[in-house]
Amino acid sequence: MKRLAPARAGLLPLALLCCGAPSSPAETPSFRFDELARVQRVGAFSLAPDGRTIAYGLGTPDLAENRMRSAIWVVPAAGGAPRRLTTGDRRDSDPRFSPDGRRLAFLSNRDGSSQVYLVDVAGGEPVKATSFPTDVNGFRWAPDGRSFLVTADVFPDCPDAPCNAQRLKEREGKKVKARVAERLLFRHWDSWKEGMRTHIWRIPLGGGPAFDLTPGDRDAPPFEVGGSMDFDVSRDGKDFVYASNPDRVEATSTNWDLWTRPLEGSAPARNLTEANKAFDGSPAFSPDGRFLAYRSQKRPGFEADRFELMLLDRASGRTRSLTPAFDFAVEDVEWAPDSRALFFTTHVKGKGALYRVDLAGGAPEEVWSRGTVHQFALSPDGRQIFLTASSLTAPSEIYAVPSRVPRGAGANRPDAVSITRVNADFMAPFGLAVSSRNVKSADGRDLQAWVVNPPGFDSSRKYPAVLLIHGGPQSAWTDSWSYRWNPQVFAGYGYVVYAANPRGSTGFGQEFTDQISGDWGGKVYDDLMRQTDDLASLPHVDRDRIGAAGASYGGYMVAWIAGHTDRFKALVCHDGVIDTASMALETEELWFTTWDFGGWPWKSEAHAKWNPIRFAENFKTPTLVISNEKDYRVPFGQGLQFFTALQVRNVPSRLLTFPDEGHWVLKPGNSRVWHAQVMDWLHRHLGGADPDPEALDAVYSVTR
């Protein structure tokens, strides 16, 4: 492919991915939930085999219908006007070019269930390409373009699609809906397993029977948030590799292994990574077929262990790490077209960066670190990388960047070329900005945080403030856009926002991440109090009007704070852990709590030591508790316990629940209510802006 000539009008300003462009106070409008809901969402994209065209999904929230609509668009890779390819009346997403580049396959629920559809790149009406009995969760083209490889939940003892269809029909006809379980991991994230397993099937494009490539009573690939596509096919179409967990009790195991078998025929699969009892996954064949790259962890049971990038020589069987001294986790991985290097994303000091590592040796080198990279693909000649990236000041767009940084470029790195500008005009008036701060921990470590000021910021004023505490707990606030907990939205309601990265945060070295395990309320609590001191020290912050809010582990820390200090004037706990002992036996991924608390509640003293409910007699701070009924990660009862304890202690408190949401609030209408309730609570106790009154009226109260 011809190297792209940077069009000056399409260059991505550095400020857009860093700190935003300041505006004068009188000209700066507020960015609140209504504005967030108007942002169009650039989703997954696909680069055509010839590198000339990019297809992408574009989502639009439908508040009235409480759902997302999305369509497929195409745009020249050299830049230019985009063209809409599908109507997007329902949800069209995840486009993938056919190997010959003439057609696009995509997922759509336009007929009710999620299936694969086909449309000519030149245009026309999409046609349904699969009619599998259950939803297609994800798919890829086979290298010859004659079939799809799809992931779907099926009955493990059914050998074909008609058997699954009949079994579903029988289940739907039953009047009694009782469930029976005889093993763990009987539900996951926000749904029950219902006696089904995720398998990978090959479905011929022109009709014919579907074939189960991963038969048996195992999930292959295992569950992953956002959908797992942990499988690959060699470029010659002969070999197939996938991830699966062979352990008997999957709920206590992170032992993903890689299995290989021929794509055609019925030969049994062979385990490639049996010796490692920790995670092995994300397989990717090299373009020349010589190597298999994959990600691996060393410590069984620890889901936040560092992911290394491994290389398997398929001829010799020898395996080596390409990132043995790299102290950050390898995430998404792609091969260079010449099979001489690999590119991967990672999080480093609050940034979602892109790195390159050569097979010949040497340390990984940074390619891009402005904002956060979410997806990327290399041009056929390997000279450019197309990527989606966002920041705390800008939602995701598609850009092009060079695949190699010129030696000695330093800060003078080439700018990114904007391929899409979906939200540029809409976002420009807000002048969003963000800054980074560091404060020292008790043992001398740097504790990083992102700070966002209210619109029209006036340094002579005093503002209320909110400390945001991230979940995980092995996670981080990164320089990336969010449609759930967006610091810009909190700031839009008049708050100084301090998004803290204390002990346990990822992207600051594995030792820093490790130090929260077994110590949930210890050093990390001290870190957060020091960061709160830093927030209170800002001359424009009213130290008497500071609140704290967090979700998941962040919700746990809110509960811990409630029992250990009254320095905050309001608290918001979303899907947080209140009783560590009951949580350990209610949650589904049991390896998480057994690792982080050093064992089961009847054996480990950490469960009692770091249990927030033990300190309920100290609860004083007004608290909003949010707990969703389909949350199986931090089950619904955790929020009920917290709210009950607050009520019997006569602490001002409110309970918000969503019967149709899991760990996150994802539906647009529900999100509107969530934001209204959170901002109303903060307004009442901290004095920020009034929330949307219509959204407040959209809920019903079970008590008055």
User: What is the C-alpha to C-alpha distance for residues 83 and 90, in angstroms, rounded to an integer?
Assistant: 18
The pLDDT of residue 25 is: 47
Residues 164-177: pLDDT tens digits?
A: 999 999 999 999 98
Q: Identify the burial level of 403 via C-beta atoms within 10 angstroms of its C-beta, where 0-12 means exposed, 13-18 middle and 19 or more buried.
A: buried
pLDDT digits (tens, 9 = 90+) for 38-77: 999 999 999 999 999 999 999 999 999 999 999 999 999 9
Tens digit of pLDDT for each residue in 506-543? Answer: 999 999 999 999 999 999 999 999 999 999 999 999 99
Q: How confident is the model at residue 703 (pLDDT cuts 50, 70, 90)?
A: low
Query: Mean pLDDT, to the nearest integer, of 470-475?
Result: 96
pLDDT tens digits, 254-288: 999 999 999 998 899 999 999 999 999 999 999 99
Least confident of 180-189, 208-217, 398-407, 564-573: 398-407
Cβ 218 vs Cβ 271: under 8 Å? no
- Specify the pLDDT at position 407: 65
**452: nearest Cα among 489, 485, 505, 483:** 489
Of the candidates 462, 448, 638, the one whose C-alpha atom is nearest the C-alpha of residue 544 is 462
631 is catalytic: yes
Q: What does the pLDDT average to over 651-679?
A: 96
Whether the pLDDT of residue 21 is over 50: the answer is: no
- Work out the mean pLDDT of the chain and round it to a whole number: 93
Kindly state the percentage of the chain with pLDDT values over 70: 93
Please report the pLDDT score of residue 4 as a whole number. Answer: 30
pLDDT of res. 404: 84
- Does 565 have pLDDT greater than 90? yes
Catalytic residue check, 663: yes
pLDDT over threshold 60, residue 2: no
pLDDT digits (tens, 9 = 90+) for 300-356: 999 999 999 999 999 999 999 999 999 999 999 999 999 999 999 999 999 999 999
pLDDT in tens, 374-383: 999 999 999 9
How many CA atoms lie less than 13 Å away from 308 in the CB half-sphere?
Answer: 18
Which member of 479, 534, 631, 680 is catalytic?
A: 631
Q: Which has the higher per-residue pLDDT, 134 or 698? A: 134
594-647 per-position pLDDT tens digit: 999 999 999 999 999 999 999 999 999 999 999 999 999 999 999 999 999 999
What is the rounded average pLDDT of the residues 645-672? Answer: 97
pLDDT of residue 632: 96
The pTM is what?
0.94
Give the pLDDT confidence score for residue 226 in this predicted structure: 64
Whether 8 shows a pLDDT value over 80: the answer reads no
Is the model's pLDDT at 464 over the cut of 90? Answer: yes
Amino acid at 168: L
Give the residue-averaged pLDDT of 580-601.
96
> Choosing from 470, 663, 675, 685, which is the catalytic residue?
663
Fold of 431-697: Rossmann fold (3.40.50)
**Cα separations (Å) of 678 from 49, 206, 640, 661?**
46, 52, 18, 16
SS3 letters across 510-575: HHHHHCCCCCCCCHHHHHHHHHHHHHHHCCCEEEEEEEEEEECHHHHHHHHHHCCCCCCCEEEEEC
Q: Would the CA dihedral through 77, 337, 350, 555 be positive or negative?
A: positive
Distance CA 458, CA 571 (A): 26
Residue 408 in this model has a pLDDT that exceeds 70: no
- Which CATH number describes the domain made up of 325-422? 2.120.10.30
Q: Delimit the domains of the chain by residue range.
A: 230-321, 325-422, 431-697
Q: Say yes or no to pLDDT of 10 above 50.
A: no
Amino acid 13: pLDDT: 40
- Tell me the average pLDDT across 281-300: 98
Cα–Cα distance list, 658 to 528, 564, 636 (Å): 29, 29, 10
Cα–Cα distance between 401 and 418 in angstroms, integer? 9
Q: Is 517 a catalytic residue?
A: no
Q: What is the pLDDT of residues 176-212, one digit of tens each?
A: 989 999 999 999 999 999 999 999 999 999 888 999 9
Please give the pLDDT value at position 413.
Answer: 67
pLDDT for res 89: 83
pLDDT level of residue 147 (50, 70, 90 thresholds): very high
Query: What is the percent of the chain with per-residue pLDDT over 90, rounded to a whole number?
Result: 89
Q: So what's the pLDDT on residue 692?
A: 75
Residue 693's pLDDT band (boundaries 50, 70, 90)?
Answer: confident
Strands 270-271 and 280-285: unpaired
Question: What residue type is assigned to position 550 of the chain?
Answer: G
Which residues are CB-contacts of 568 (< 8 A; sequence separation ≥ 6)? 467, 546, 547, 548, 561, 621
pLDDT of res. 228? 73
Task: Go through the chain and tell me how many residues it has.
Answer: 704
**Helix-helix angle 523-537:553-562, to 10 degrees:** 80
Does residue 403 carry a pLDDT above 50?
A: yes
Q: Spot the catalytic one: 23, 108, 391, 552.
A: 552
b/e string for 496-521 if b means 16 or more Cβ within 10 A?
bbbbbbbbbbbbbbbebbbbbbbbbb
φ, ψ (nearest 5 deg) of residue 666: -110, -30
